[in-house]
Amino acid sequence: MKIGILKETQKGERRVAISPNIVKQLIDKEFEVIVEEDAGTSSSFKDSNYLKAGAIVEKRGVVFKEADVLVKINPFDEDDLKLVNKGQILMSQLFHKSHPELIEAISKTGASAFSMDAIPRISRAQDMDVLSSQNNLAGYKAVIRGAYEMTKIFPLMMTAAGTISPARVLVYGVGVAGLQAIATAKRLGAIVEATDIRPETKEQTESLGAKFISVDHNGEETSEKGYAKVASEDYARRQQEAVNKSLFEADLVITTAMVPGRKAPVLITKEQVDQMKNGAVIIDLAAAQGGNCALSKMNKEVIRNGVKIIGTTISPESVSTNASELFAKNMYNFIMHLTEGNQFEWDFDEEITDETLIVHNGIIRKNGKTN
């Protein structure tokens, strides 16, 4: 079986789906690997690194023509699908719940498609979870970006000229990105607080030395399969009231709250921004899904009442070498799980396969069944 590694074409993307180290491991398992020219250049992986690992390096059209499995990070676009052949297997993040038109287009090619963002949050799938590995880096980078944008330093500092008070950081959403943001801000010496709709995250927050801002749930279900659910209007109101004091005192706010397949919840309103400290910074990691701050705009800086709001994914593109290595390891584990003797097993009753296989031989699968 020949695995094709494609160069990412999305603007600003610097990662590659498979690193040279993982190429070597795949070849050791008797797969063949063909890599598009310059696919890893932006992640500091030269074509010569792939050749040394045992891969073949070819032009884009050749990779599409010869590979049995086509691997990339971002969704296959219209130009990609023109080159896809019937029977090929596509692997990437598809975000299929919010992009039904893409799934329909893939089905017309007669190919099969796995969505890497649909890996279930179960213990045996942890080493395949690309969202977790990439969000971990995003949480770290959000704090570093915030430190750059702030006009203050994080730690308490005692100098001959006087004492500098530590910065105050507030994190919305205690998932993988949020936990890494908390840990990074704490290491830099900030006073950190965090809030999340899921009560089970309280212990995780406190284990990192941060204060958890609790909200009374009144019996409301707030999580499903490890992911946050959409909160009711009543809960959202109570959360705003609970965090206002911390929000208005914060020097840096990092928002990470996203609901799979849905628009990101608005957690910070315009009115709340107007009451924040002059010079405060908001790093909104949910900007690509509409933003947790009502004023966020993707890849733009908005200044309102002295508050700087930066809408971004802080996609791990900015640390593309590490991000690519982690994504590649996730992909390797996923491929190993799905195959036996270099052939796909197609076990539709197995949970990981069932959740991630969105299209099979041109047929769109719904609710775990082939239609």
Spell out the domain ranges in the chain. 2-118+319-365, 132-314
Is 115 an active-site residue? Answer: no
HSE-up of 277 (CA within 13 Å, CB side)?
Answer: 20
**Rounded Cα distance, 63 and 56, in Å:** 10
| Catalytic residue selected from 25, 47, 223, 227 | 227
Active site residue 332: no
Single out the catalytic residue among 10, 38, 42, 121: 121
Q: What tens-digit pLDDT sequence spans the chain (371 residues)? A: 999 999 999 888 999 999 999 999 999 999 999 999 999 999 999 999 999 999 999 999 999 999 999 999 999 999 999 999 999 999 999 989 888 999 999 999 999 999 999 999 899 999 999 999 999 999 999 999 999 999 999 999 999 999 999 999 999 999 999 999 999 999 999 999 999 988 889 999 999 999 999 887 665 555 555 555 566 777 778 888 889 999 999 999 999 998 876 788 999 999 999 999 999 999 999 998 899 999 999 989 999 999 999 998 777 888 999 999 999 999 999 999 999 988 999 999 999 999 999 999 999 997 444 45
- Asked: is 132-314 a CATH 3.40.50.720 domain? The reply is yes
- Strand, helix or coil for residue 354: helix
Nearest CA to 1 out of 34, 36, 32 is that of 32
Q: Establish whether domains 2-118+319-365 and 132-314 are of one fold.
A: yes
**Active-site annotation holder among 19, 93, 107, 132:** 132
227 is catalytic: yes
Q: Is 198 annotated in the active site?
A: no
Catalytic residue among 129, 196, 251, 284: 129
Residue ranges of alpha helices (H) inside 150-297 are: 176-187, 201-207, 233-249, 270-273
CB-based contacts of 291, cutoff 8 Å, min separation 6: 255, 264, 266, 284, 297, 298, 311
Catalytic, 240? Answer: no
User: Annotated catalytic residue: which of 44, 48, 98, 126?
Assistant: 126
Query: What is the model's pLDDT at position 289?
Result: 86
Assign 159 to helix, strand or coil: strand
Name the fold adopted by 2-118+319-365: Rossmann fold (3.40.50)
Q: Residue 183, by phi and psi: left (phi above 0), alpha (psi -120 to 50) or beta?
A: alpha
DSSP letter assigned to residue 350: S
**Residues in Cβ contact with 324 at an 8 Å cutoff, skipping those fewer than 6 apart:** 15, 16, 17, 19, 40, 43, 45
CB atoms inside a 10 Å sphere around CB 296: 25
Element (H, E) at 330: helix 320-338
Residue type at 76 in one-letter notation:
F
* 191-195 and 211-212 strand pairing: parallel
3-state helix vs strand vs coil in the chain, percent to 5: 40, 20, 40
